[in-house]
Chain A
């Protein structure tokens, strides 16, 4: 009976080791796949709760779309193909990073155009002000200038004591 038990134990151990080895071998590949899916999902918008990503949302549509993304990825589709699949159904709105095209150029260029416009306005105002300052320098009231000078000269004297 004893050797029999030992053999059974041995077989069990070997089987266990094999299973462990097999799962260990699968694990890194799965992890990479999972992170790929997670990254993809966090770049896609859930259409039900519009300020959440597919990864964050608990909406049932988001669940379905996560399933869809996973299945497409498993079937060998690239990230771009998966994005295109969703854009074809829901429009560019599903992308958190919208593509540059005719309908979105204002969105992309707008802030820079505003910044440039504001910068130009600032520059012209500054220049005009500088011009105005230079041209009025000589035309100040001579009395005021004299008074100013007197005050400045005054402060140069040592302070009165007692």
Chain B
């Protein structure tokens, strides 16, 4: 009887701690994307360099990353060296979605900081961004051969997120 008496509050306490541990460990700014496992929204947008448009249909059949960036975006500078490294390694093509930006500013930014993108497309009014559920630039999507979104990174890429999530997933999908 005595053990029951103190084991109930103890059990409640453990449950509470478990909830707080998980709940407080989460980043409230990271809203899980409903797009995971669904077809990547299609787009046909002008490229930043040259005036050929680029559409999702052309990217079918290969694994690619969509990196949402802008010249006004401060944390894009944080992940930029990693993107440059990734481009140099040539593991996976990275397409840039220049989100709500002035094309001239974007071109100048890339000229200054280096251009890691296979191609950059211009989403000046942010409509494609809305289709992709973009709410915090930078964001990076991993899209598979069939055009299905497999992963979304919210916020800048880091060495850890690349090594633990993005690159293993890309290798898996490229098999």
Contact = CB atoms under 8 A, between A and B. Distances in A.
Contacts of A87: 34
A128 to B, nearest CB: 10
Contact of A48 (B33, B35, B125, B135): B135
Interface size class of B (residues with CB under 8 A): 10 to 19
Contacts of B127: 64, 68
A91 B33 contact: yes
Interface size class of A (residues with CB under 8 A): 10 to 19
A88 B33 CA distance: 9
A90 B34 contact: yes
Contacts of B29: 50
B114 interface: no
Which interface residue of B132, B133, B135 has the most chain A CB atoms within 10 A?
A: B135
Interface SS of B by simple majority: loop
Contacts of B90: none
A61 interface: yes
A47 B130 contact: no
The 9 closest A-B pairs by CB, nearest first: A47-B135, A89-B133, A91-B34, A93-B31, A90-B133, A64-B126, A61-B135, A48-B135, A91-B31
Given A64-B125, A68-B127, A90-B31, 18 more contacts: A47-B136, A48-B135, A48-B136, A50-B28, A60-B126, A61-B126, A64-B126, A65-B130, A87-B34, A89-B35, A89-B130, A89-B132, A89-B133, A90-B133, A90-B135, A91-B31, A91-B133, A92-B34
